[in-house]
Chain A
Amino acid sequence: MDQALQHLVNGTVLGGTYALLGIGLTLVFGVMRVVNFTHGELYAFGAYMTYAGVSLLGLNFYLSLALATLLGMALGASIEWLLLRPMRKADIDSVMLVMIGAALVLQNGEMWAWGGVAKLIPNPFPGTPLVVGPVSVMPLRLFVLVVSAALLLGFWLLLDRTRIGMAMRATFQDPETAALMGVRIGWVNTATFAIGSGLAAAAGALLGPVFMVSPTMGDLVGLKAFAIVILGGLGSLPGATIGGFALGFVEEFAGGFVSTEYRDAFGFLLIILILAVRPQGLVPAKERIG
């Protein structure tokens, strides 16, 4: 029972970070129909910017997190402006190839700039865990969970309560009609890609201090983010959140109680099972057809 409670806490912490990873990716796909292969690299970028802020520039930890997120948004906006905007009329395969290329450039840029050796980001939280009964959790992990929840909530409010959010939702449902209604699609796309990139960078900035920072840290994360988005339903924001938590819990419980050897495999087995029953994912996105 104690073990199950600890796995429950671990799964919640892991699921929260997975949800944050998935939501940025699904947003970009939902609004722009772009499969963003740079998502994992933007995650790594956020982590490196936090490292640069804290360890190299000596900035405050929280300020570094905020700066890393903003820089991630700026990088995302640049990618949209320079690479995606000229390809708006191109087919999805060509866009995918360009995004794969951009991901390779970003990853190699990180290797060139920072070297291959992983780095630790110092953080202001105590190194001893908080202990409640049989379970324990690091204060830093709790901070990450709370900030992830705040970001998810803030993002939901942005989509639901603001003009840009309405414009994004309109573009998501029917880009041509949205354009006819006066929505500036180009601007919506830039904002969407910047926000999606900012969420990836924020995830990297938050998780960099929990784990370690290396140029290839985005590889596994990118793969997981795609899995979460497909599990939840492509383009579905609630789906990405639920998918993130589902994957976190399955990995944690199956790893803990069945076999850690196949921990990742259990996650992907879940995806296969769900897609076999619900090919549209757990919570498919609503979109106007025809």
Chain B
Amino acid sequence: MMNRRTLLLAGLAMPALSRHGFAADPIRIGMTQPLTGAVAASGNYVANGAKIAVEVLNAAGGVLGRPIELVLEDNKSNPREAVAAAEKLVLRDKVPVLIGAWSSTFTLAIMPKLIEYKVPMIVETSSAARITTSGNPWVFRIAPTSEMEAVAFAELLGKFDPPIRKIDFLSVNNDFGRGAAEKFSAALGAKGIRIGRTETMTPEATDLAAQITALRQSDGDTVFLTTGVEQQTLALRQAVEQRLGKRIVTTGGSFPDQLLANPLPPGNTSYHILFYAPWFPERAPHPQIAERYTAEWNKKGWEFAGLTEGFRGYDAVLTVAVAIKLAGKPEAEAIRAALWKVKLAGVNGDISFAKEGPAGQESGQNKPNVSVVTLSEGKTGLL
């Protein structure tokens, strides 16, 4: 077990330990995110977090005496485009390491290419279990799986009043949404909570009235909502319209920030499982790192609530930088080997990788932290 103080020092001092002076070419880090399309809000936030991390690293002298360059490709919220973006980054831009690709569906689409081109990828957001259990040794995930999220949430059940007794699901119809419904059913079912209906929606759907009307027929008291920011916002608004009358808990770490400026009517409180709550940086596992990240973000004038997802990009770039430093050279195989030795303090908490998946083909999985934020009348609170 690593000493907490050592970790913190490593995270804070890592950029400063690098040599100054950028005589050599930059080290390129490839990143693909959904910058446009159905889940563009989240993708842009993650990309912004990564850009900040690159600036922080370069201001402190870069890595191995070379500046870091982030090569960002839009996957257009589409798995085919995600594959094209990854191939472009590896083949044309010659990046030795990737970060991506937000949605589990996009990440799963890219994964065979990692084996083909022998390039490691830091998975910053995707939560489907298969990503780290399918036997892809080039995958290192810093995001929690849906199962980790569900198990962590199950520990907080006592904080809900009235208590959660029966749950339903409204999930986007892809690996992310279906995976979350399955894992939350298992984790909460094990705690004696009854499982009701599961309604699904396509990622592009805007009218969710049929789904919400159907959920109204269930006698469940809580609906778990799993999708991107845009559909979260739509679902929460349309739940008011359809008088759903149930507690809504969003999963996956996204936050419907537009509801801060355009709040739901009084009496509607939603719950959001997040991996960083920027309203309360002092409650983060490493407050200094969280505050530095938050301050850099705010300096840019970006939307404050984007911090909830931006940290993924920030932590992912820091992780890659530590791995390159440990590898001693920006080469794919060396970085992959070094990723197993990475230990650093990130915004979400301590980052290191444990082995998951079939022997000899293991992927790396970090164990992140989880918190639940409430949103009521445009104001946030920590559960």
Write the residues of chain A forming the contact surface with B, with a CB cutoff of 8 angstroms.
3, 6-7, 10, 13-14, 111, 115-120, 122, 126-129, 131, 136-138, 141, 211-212, 214-217, 219-220, 251-253, 255-257, 260-261, 263-264
Q: Tell me whether A129 and B40 are in contact (CB under 8 A).
A: no
B219 within 8 A of A: no
A137 and chain B: residue at smallest CB distance: B241
Judged by DSSP, the binding face of B is: mixed
Write the residues of chain B forming the contact surface with A, with a CB cutoff of 8 angstroms.
34-38, 40-41, 43-44, 74, 77, 173, 199-202, 204-207, 209-211, 213-214, 216-217, 229-230, 233-234, 240-243, 258, 261-262, 264-265
Number of A-B contacts (CB under 8 A): 109
Of the candidates A6, A14, A118, which one forms a contact with B207 in the assembled complex, judged by CB atoms under 8 Å apart? A14
Instruction: List 5 other contacts, CB 8 Å, given A115-B44, A217-B206, A263-B211.
Output: A118-B41, A212-B233, A215-B36, A260-B199, A260-B211
Q: Tell me whether A255 and B206 are in contact (CB under 8 A).
A: no
CA distance A214 to B241 in the complex (A): 22
A221 and chain B: residue at smallest CB distance: B206
Q: Tell me whether B214 and A136 are in contact (CB under 8 A).
A: no
Of the candidates A115, A118, A119, A141, which one forms a contact with B241 in the assembled complex, judged by CB atoms under 8 Å apart? A141
Q: Tell me whether B210 and A7 are in contact (CB under 8 A).
A: yes
Q: Tell me whether A214 and B230 are in contact (CB under 8 A).
A: yes
What are 30 A-B contacts with C-beta separation under 8 Å? A3-B214, A6-B242, A10-B207, A14-B209, A116-B34, A116-B35, A116-B37, A116-B40, A116-B43, A116-B74, A120-B261, A120-B262, A122-B262, A127-B264, A129-B240, A129-B241, A129-B243, A141-B241, A211-B234, A214-B37, A214-B38, A215-B36, A216-B37, A216-B204, A220-B205, A256-B213, A257-B214, A260-B199, A260-B201, A260-B211
Q: Tell me whether A212 and B36 are in contact (CB under 8 A).
A: no
Of the candidates B74, B204, B209, B230, which one forms a contact with A220 in the assembled complex, judged by CB atoms under 8 Å apart? B204
Provide the residues of chain A in CB contact with B173, threshold 8 Å: 261
Q: How far is the CB of B333 from chain A (nearest CB, A)?
A: 34
Q: Tell me whether A118 and B230 are in contact (CB under 8 A).
A: yes
Q: Tell me whether A251 and B210 are in contact (CB under 8 A).
A: yes
Q: Tell me whether B210 and A120 are in contact (CB under 8 A).
A: no
Q: Which 3 A-B pairs have the closest CB atoms?
A: A255-B210, A116-B40, A116-B36
Given A120-B258, A120-B262, A127-B240, also A260-B214 (CB < 8 A): yes
Provide the residues of chain A in CB contact with B234, threshold 8 Å: 211-212
Q: How far is the CB of A129 from chain B (nearest CB, A)?
A: 5
